[in-house]
Amino acid sequence: MSVFKMPSKYRKYSFQPRYYDERKESLKRKLEREEKINSTVSEREIKFQSQLEETWGNTERKSQILKSNIRLLVILLIILASAYYVFIGMDSAEEAINNAITK
């Protein structure tokens, strides 16, 4: 038995010296600030673009719809003109038949 108890294994003291570089820290803060500003700008640009797309919509799709509507209008006009011509033509055909019968 010993008077002083000694640990069976010695403990290591792990000392890591700290080094403070004020210039490096200020540069790091500036870079972080610029990165934050740049990310905010890009987020604003993305948000602005999405708002524009919602407001103006897809221009290609709108032009296709416009062309389709114009095509439909032209077809309807052709059908109406042909129907009018048929009915007027019937009147003239009826006159020709009536003239032929009366002679």
Mean pLDDT value across residues 33-42: 76
15 compared with 76, residue with greater pLDDT: 76
> 43 vs 1, which has greater pLDDT?
43
Query: Are 47 and 74 part of one and the same domain?
Result: no
Q: What is the pTM of this model?
A: 0.39
Question: In the structure, what pLDDT confidence band is assigned to residue 19 with cuts at 50, 70 and 90?
Answer: confident
Q: 103 and 66, same structural domain?
A: yes
* d(C-alpha 47, C-alpha 88), whole Å: 60
Two tokens at 52?
Answer: 């524009």
Residue 18: which pLDDT band, with cuts at 50, 70 and 90? confident
How high is the mean pLDDT of the chain? Answer: 81
Kindly state the percentage of the chain with pLDDT values over 90: 17
Structural domain range at position 33: 22-57
Same domain? For 97 and 67 the reply is yes
Is the residue at 8 inside a domain?
A: no
Task: Tell me whether residue 1 is in a domain.
Answer: no
Q: Is residue 42 part of a domain?
A: yes
Residue type, 75: I
